[in-house]
Structure 1
Amino acid sequence: MPTLLYIDTSGNTATIALSANGGLKALRRHHQAQEQAAVINLLIEDLLQECNLQLRDLDALCVCAGPGSYTGLRVGLSTAKGIAFALDKPLMLFNKLELIAREFNTQHTASQLVVALKARLGEYFVARYDAAHTVLTEPQHLFEADLDTLLQGQEALLLSDTDLPYTGPRVMIPADYAAGMDSWIAFATARFATGRFDDLAYSEPFYLKAAFTTQSKK
């Protein structure tokens, strides 16, 4: 089975992990989002030293490519792409909404799951999956009114990091959520076995919405 490096800098907590033979070998978390660019390579180096490995020993790189923090997504993906380019290693991108659905569906069996993460006040990143993790509603950016429409009449398990007006079953995702490694490792190992890699040259973060900018008054 492959040796895989995992990078998730999509939120406030950065996750750097290493798996081999389908199991977790080592893990690092960093809880200061503003320091991710400064520490990511140090965390990777520390992780490899713990496992007595070098970058060339990796079989592939796995990145949580969003949605999430614009800056964090760029930090994580650019780091992974730099390593992959330099060492000719394959790259696999993972959507955070699907990772959450896979993680929590192992704990709460449901026929459908809706993942809704707060993007900004009144705005959400949303996707809907069935129990086999097939996408029923593609990951997208929605305003609260549109999310209400999506949830109406649903009997899905709602996975969200904010309190939404929903009467069905729900699980609250911690505001400082960090990727659960058991389900991610299983997913990534299965993808590697089937050769489902992403195009290194054209891979981009899953922003799902345009960057918010303000117009200069000058």
Structure 2
Amino acid sequence: MPCILNIETATEVCSVAVSVDGRVVFQKEETKGPSHAVLLGTFVDEAMEMLRAQNLKPDAVAVSCGPGSYTGLRIGVSEAKGLCFGLNIPLIALNSLKIMANGVSKMKDLQDYTLLCPMIDARRMEVYDVLLNKELQEVRPVSADIIDENSFAGYLGKERIVFFGNGAEKCKAVLKSEAALFLDNVYPRAFNMIGLAEEAYAAGDFVNVAYFEPFYLKEFVATALKNKVLAAVK
């Protein structure tokens, strides 16, 4: 089994984990972000120092590639690409929503629920989401949705769906159904990338380090400056 360094920065959470031969040997995360620009480099340095002490180095880097925070994804992917260039190792890209679902799919008390719907906040009533079965296969593709009472009408009721992620909280009042379950405090974590990254490594599922870009799903829209003096200077 390979040694893989996993980086996750798609939401306000910053996390890094390392697996060696299927074992988690390093894990660090901060949930009170966003502080990726400050913390990510420190977490990676600590992980690399631990590996050097054991005469090890990563065989690959896995990164959460989106959808999610534009700034967070840029920071995470830039760090991952820099490591891959410097160490001459391959890059694995993993969907942020699927990373969340990978953790939830292992929960034993959800047997009665057939579909998983991870959601990442995309401002106002819009979320990035995907519908997956318990094997993490897509039932409905990744999309940016404005949630209303008719969202998931073709699925919710016919299927029992688990909703989770930082976009699910604002949907509770809208998606009212006995077939819906909302889980709190679920977010993408580097720890939940490990199994997915090892599968990708075994399959040789790598991306081009030079040309790879995060999966933003939507174009970045900059917020207009409120201070007219600053705006004029810009």
Q: TM-score, normalised by structure 2?
A: 0.81
**Which residue is equivalent to 1:197?**
206
Select 1:136's aligned residue among 131, 134, 139. 139
- 1:60 is aligned to 60
Query: CA offset at residue 152 of structure 1?
Result: 4.4
Q: 1:17 to 1:67 in 2, by over 3 A?
A: same
SS across alignment from 1:120: coil
Change (3 A) 1:206 1:193: same
Q: Is the 8 A contact 1:48 1:55 kept in 2?
A: no
> Which runs of 5 or more residues in structure 2 are unaligned?
none
Q: Is the 8 A contact 1:103 1:180 kept in 2?
A: no
Higher-Rg member (1/2): 2
- What do residues 15-70 of structure 1 show as CA deviations (whole Å, max 9, x unaligned)? 01111001100111124534321232221111222343599811000111122211
What pairs up with 1:1-218 in 2 under 5 angstroms? 1-53=1-53, 57-107=57-107, 108-109=110-111, 110-145=113-148, 147-149=151-153, 151-160=155-164, 161-162=168-169, 163=172, 164-167=174-177, 168-174=179-185, 177-179=187-189, 181=191, 183-214=192-223
Give 1:118 deviation, angstroms.
2.4
Distance 1:80 1:67 in 2: 16
Q: Deviations over 1:99-157 (max 9, x none)?
A: 12221111123432222332211101110112221112111111113735465444132
Amino acid at match of 1:206: F
Contact 2:18–2:24 (CA under 8 A) maintained in structure 1:
yes
Deviates more, 1:201-210 or 1:6-15: 201-210
Mapped contact 1:118–1:124 kept (Cα < 8 A): yes
State the percentage of identical aligned residues: 26
Partners of 2:18 and 2:133 lie apart in 1 by 29
- Take 1:83 and 1:199, find their aligned partners in 2: how far apart are those partners? 13
List alignment gaps of at least 5 residues for structure 1.
Answer: none
1:142-198 deviations in Å (ceiling 9; x for gaps): 1113735465444132222312423114132417x35162x4212211211111111
Secondary structure class of the residue paired with 2:18: strand
